[in-house]
């Protein structure tokens, strides 16, 4: 987790009264991320990780020892190592702020996506929730939801629309993956 943590907050609140769901850990690479404060306020342990450590078999084993049903990426920008993907096939999901396969891949995140979409005068944008594989933003699509761009759309106004989609669809999709897959 690299950023503000609003998706973490929303997911935690969504599952707060569900005894069958526990968020056991938040993994973060950015010590300045406000997500750390959100996790602490929610009583969720935070695990800081550096890039070198993240790519080790020991980190993959540490995650395996947690016996996770699902790994949810929300604002985590690093490429997930193949060893972790292999340990959790179809069990690592990510949310992307565009309609993949467009505006995906290394370097396309957050405002960079919204700026590119607006500059291209796209009529639509949205979110893509997808499984993580070895290539950035190319895993099997689980769900897409879209919004229409207005003629005077700005990257900030588009970001607000996308954020609403994330808040509405990500927790529900996680629930479906946990209980109906």
73-100 burial, b for 16+ CB within 10 Å, e for fewer?
bbbbeeebbebbbebbeebbbbbbbbbb
Question: Is 114 annotated in the active site?
Answer: no
Whose tokens are 């935690």? That residue is 12
**Which is catalytic among the residues 96, 112, 130, 163?**
96
DSSP secondary-structure letter at 161?
H
| Pairs from 12-16 (Cβ < 8 Å, separation ≥ 24) | 12/38, 12/42, 12/44, 14/171, 14/172, 14/174, 14/175, 15/171, 15/175
Type and span of the H or E element at 12: helix 6-15
Please list the active-site residues: 96
């Amino acid at each position: 987790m690299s950023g503000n943590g609003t998706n973490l907050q929303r997911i935690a609140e969504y599952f707060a009264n569900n005894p069958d769901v526990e968020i056991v850990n938040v993994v973060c690479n950015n010590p300045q991320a406000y997500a750390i404060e959100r996790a602490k306020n929610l009583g969720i342990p935070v695990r800081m990780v550096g890039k070198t450590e993240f790519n080790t078999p020991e980190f993959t084993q540490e995650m395996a020892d947690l016996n996770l049903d699902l790994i949810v990426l929300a604002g985590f920008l690093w490429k997930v190592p193949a060893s972790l993907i292999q340990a959790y096939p179809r069990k690592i999901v990510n949310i992307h702020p565009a309609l993949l396969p467009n505006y995906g891949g290394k370097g396309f995140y957050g405002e960079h996506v919204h700026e590119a979409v607006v500059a291209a005068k796209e009529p639509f944008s949205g979110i893509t929730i997808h499984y993580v594989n070895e290539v950035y933003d190319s895993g099997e699509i689980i769900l897409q939801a879209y919004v229409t761009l207005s003629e005077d759309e700005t990257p900030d106004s588009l970001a607000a629309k996308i954020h609403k989609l994330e808040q509405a669809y990500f927790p529900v999709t996680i629930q479906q993956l946990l209980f109906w897959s």
